[in-house]
Every structure is written in structure tokens, then in C-alpha cells.
Amino acid sequence: GQQLNQSPQSMFIQEGEDVSMNCTSSSIFNTWLWYKQDPGEGPVLLIALYKAGELTSNGRLTAQFGITRKDSFLNISASIPSDVGIYFCAGQPHTGTASKLTFGTGTRLQVTL
């Protein structure tokens, strides 16, 4: 099956820094999702995007649906220690087809004080 490429694979940043990560696909998606997974837990939905070009925020997190429909971006501003975890993107080709969700390989974020 198809995999989404996430970049970077991992990153070490200092508290207070901004973070950017992205997700690219060879296929077009109608929906992009961003999840965060804390150590030892399951992924939790952060942001859902439904239109090309859409920019959506959730607190210090901002995600964008790429205009080509083949990519998405997640930014975290002013990182804090609890931002540590693995961030996954997921793409869905058609509305209402969660069984067709494709997940990225994840970006592991480490925050140093």
C-alpha cells in the first residue's frame, strides 16, 4: 500500500522554538489529518483539513492543506516540553472513506529545556 513521506523523520529543538514538518504524497487527497502520539499511548487527532489551501489552527498548532492536494504542513509555535511525541499525517482520498486512510511514517519531536 501507499505510504506518505513525512519530513523530517526526527527533530531536536529547544523549548520556545518554532517547529515545521511536512507530509507529501504521490496521490491526491480530499482530506488531510494530523495526529500526535504520546509515548505509550494511541494517536490523538490534532487538526483535520478538508479544502485545498485551507489553513487551520488549534492553539499553537497550525496546519495547511497544500494547493496541489498532495501535501500538508504542520507548524508548532513556541514549543513546550509537552509537545514531545510523534506527529503523524494521514490522507483520505474521498470523503467518508476512513478505511482508505493512509498514514505517514511520523516525525519524532524532542524538546530540550
Positions in the binding site for another protein (CB under 8 A): 1, 3-4, 31, 33, 40-45, 48, 88, 90, 92, 95-99, 101-106
Q: Which residue number, 69 or 79, has a Cβ lying nearer to another protein?
A: 69
Q: Which of 45, 58, 38, 46 is nearest to 108 (CA)?
A: 38
Q: Which of 83, 53, 64 is nearest to 23 (CA)?
A: 64
Q: Which residue number, 77 or 105, has a Cβ lying nearer to another protein?
A: 105
CB of 53 to another protein, least distance (A): 19
> Can you spell out the DSSP letters for 33-55?
EEEEE-TTS-EEEEEEE-STT-E
CA 66 to chain centre: 12
Q: Which residue number, 27 or 112, has a Cβ lying nearer to another protein?
A: 27
CB of 43 to another protein, least distance (A): 5
CB of 82 to another protein, least distance (A): 17
Instruction: Measure Cα distances from 94 to 42, 97, 102 in Å.
Output: 24, 6, 12
Q: Which residue number, 9 or 57, has a Cβ lying nearer to another protein?
A: 9
